[in-house]
Amino acid sequence: MKIGITCQSSTGGSGILATELGMALGKRGHEVHFVTTETPVRLGRFQENVYNHSVDMITYPLFRTPPYSLALASKISEVAEEFDIQVWHAHYAIPNAVASQLARDMLPKEKRFCLVTTLHGTDITLVGGHPSFYRATRYGMESSNAVTSVSNWLSNETMHEFDLTRPVQTIYNFVDAEKFRPRPVNRAALAKDDEKIVMHISNFRPVKRVTDVVRAFRKMLEQVNARLIMLGDGPERIGAMGVARQLGIADRIACLGNVEHVEEVLPAADLVFQPSEHESFGLVPLEAMACEVPVLVTASGGITEVVEHGVSGYLCEVGDIDAMARYGVEILSDPARAKEMGRRGRAQAVHKFSPERIVGEYEALYENLILRRPELVGLDRP
């Protein structure tokens, strides 16, 4: 198959999943073409069958902001026509799904692709629900030939909020258990020998509630000698470190910034802590589970479909700092319990969220659409 993919090129979950999916499809022999503003964060190396095309932008005094969506649509149309793309996969509804729809309309009828839109969370719960984008978001989904989301929770939220005329199919995110696995790590570069490592990884947006990480960690320090390692960057990082200074624990926290190969650091953690307002899926906890690291998350959104309470980690109510600290101490102070949680978490990740299983679901979706392509793009009509 010839597949096009448009995604965010940042470190967020939607871009990571899209990139991992494209690379997995390439390994299976499909020809995959990315169209993005810049090279996706996990697509740094050459891989057979996988190509990346950058969107060309111009600045012109007439435009207060460059019309990115139109440039994106033009590039998608250009690539689709040149390489005979059969299926275009838009990750994140705005602007990617709408731009892909416009790109398809630009093409001659015989060159038009089938369009799949995958929803990742904030494109529905935050951006898409805003009055400025609601109609465009709904249009992008209704104009797609198939709409998927990364959890049952998000599928249900989407159907309810947008009153769609077509169902939303759940296809979970996946994790490469060969890449994300227990491995020797230079732990001394992160913490002292007698310190436990609590790790948080995010884009530091408000929904991640990073100050809750700091406040709960402060309570954990009352009973456990530990260090907090934070990976990623974003608008809430400075505020979180301000709270850390107020609490007198800034010297127990290290911010590593954006790390390209997270799998080389993640296995060093004794606990991965993600107290988000909600997670539509929870890719970081899943990657931690694959590394046999116990996770501490909030019971809000699709994350409850990934983490099993008391088995692979613990689920807390949003904002319940005391419970978070209590569960964190329990994991950090009981190595045997933590090891068993880690083992069960990896078993769950390998069984339920393997690339073989999830990528196979996408392949089946693409193949079904391609079989119906004449009908879907209007080739069966004069």
pLDDT in tens, 329-375: 999 999 999 999 999 999 999 999 999 999 999 999 999 999 988 88
Give pLDDT, residue 191. Answer: 93
- 382 lies in some domain: no
CATH number at residue 126: 3.40.50.2000
Residue 180 within a domain: no
Residue 143 in any domain: the answer is yes
Looking at the structure, do residues 162 and 223 belong to the same domain, yes or no?
A: no
Question: What's residue 322's pLDDT?
Answer: 96
Q: Is the pLDDT of residue 1 over 90?
A: yes
Tell me, what's the pLDDT at 129? 63
Confidence (pLDDT) at 41: 66
Rounded to a whole number of angstroms, the distance between the first and last alpha carbons of the chain is: 26
- My answer on whether 252 and 165 are in the same domain is no
Q: How crowded is residue 347: how many other Cβ atoms within 10 Å of its Cβ?
A: 15
- In the chain, the number of structural domains is 2
Q: pLDDT by residue (tens digit) across 5-64?
A: 998 876 566 778 888 999 999 999 999 999 988 777 667 677 899 999 988 877 767 667
**Would 168 be classed as within a structural domain?**
yes
Q: How confident is the model at residue 219 (pLDDT cuts 50, 70, 90)?
A: very high
Over residues 280-292, the mean pLDDT reads: 95
Same domain, 233 and 125: no
Work out the percent of the chain whose per-residue pLDDT is above 70. 94
Residue 12: predicted pLDDT: 62
170 contacts 157 by C-beta, under 8 angstroms: no
3-state secondary structure of 254: strand
pLDDT number for residue 69:
87
Using DSSP, state whether 89 is helix, strand or coil: strand
Q: How far is 135 from 28, CA to CA, in rounded Å?
A: 37
Query: Does one domain contain both 135 and 246?
Result: no
Q: Does residue 261 sit in the same domain as residue 222?
A: yes
- Residue 76 above 90 pLDDT? yes
Give the pLDDT of residue 54.
Answer: 87
Whether 125 has a pLDDT exceeding 90, the answer reads no
Spatial strand order of the sheet with 253-257 comes to: 253-257, 226-231, 196-201, 271-274, 295-298, 313-316
Q: How many CA atoms lie within 13 A of 247 on its CB side?
A: 23
| pLDDT value at residue 327 | 97
Same domain for 198 and 70, yes or no, is: no
Residue among 203, 66, 74, 213 nearest 126 (CA) = 203
What amino acid occupies position 14? S
Q: Is 89 domain-assigned?
A: yes
Helices (H) and strands (E) counted in the chain, each on its own, are 13, 13
To the nearest 10 degrees (0 to 180), the angle between helices 210-220 and 321-332 is: 50
Question: What pLDDT does 47 receive?
Answer: 83
For range 274-284, the mean pLDDT: 92
Say whether both 331 and 369 belong to one domain. Answer: no
Q: pLDDT at residue 123 above 60?
A: yes
Q: Is residue 366 part of a domain?
A: yes
Sheet containing 87-91: order of strands: 50-54, 31-36, 2-6, 87-91, 114-119, 146-149, 169-170
Q: pLDDT by residue (tens digit) across 144-198? A: 999 999 999 999 999 988 888 989 999 999 999 999 999 999 998 999 999 999 9
Q: Which residues, including other chains, have CB under 8 Å from residue 105's CB and lie 6 or more apart?
A: none
Q: Output the average pLDDT for the chain.
A: 91
Which residue shows structure tokens 């073409």? 33
Residues 209 and 318 in one domain: yes
Q: Are residues 152 and 227 located together in one domain of the fold?
A: no
User: How many whole angstroms separate alpha carbon 222 and alpha carbon 224?
Assistant: 6
Residue listed under structure tokens 């890449």: 179
Tell me, what amino acid is at 257?
Answer: G
- Segment (H or E) for 5: strand 2-6
Question: Phi/psi at 36 (nearest 5 deg)?
Answer: -145, 170
Q: Is residue 322 part of a domain?
A: yes
Are 223 and 323 found together in one domain? yes
Share of the chain above pLDDT 90, in %: 73
Helix (H, G, I), strand (E, B) or coil at 267: helix
139 & 157 share domain: yes
Task: Answer for the pair 121, 154: CB distance below 8 angstroms, yes or no.
Answer: yes
Q: Which of 102-111, 121-130, 216-225, 242-251 has the lowest mean pLDDT?
A: 121-130
Helices (H), the chain: 13-27, 68-83, 98-106, 122-125, 134-142, 152-162, 210-220, 237-247, 283-290, 321-332, 335-352, 355-371, 373-377
Please say whether the beta carbons of 99 and 69 come within 8 A.
Answer: yes
Range of the domain at 224: 187-352
pLDDT reading at 127 higher than 80: no
Q: Domain check: are 57 and 149 in the same one?
A: yes
Q: Is residue 117 part of a domain?
A: yes
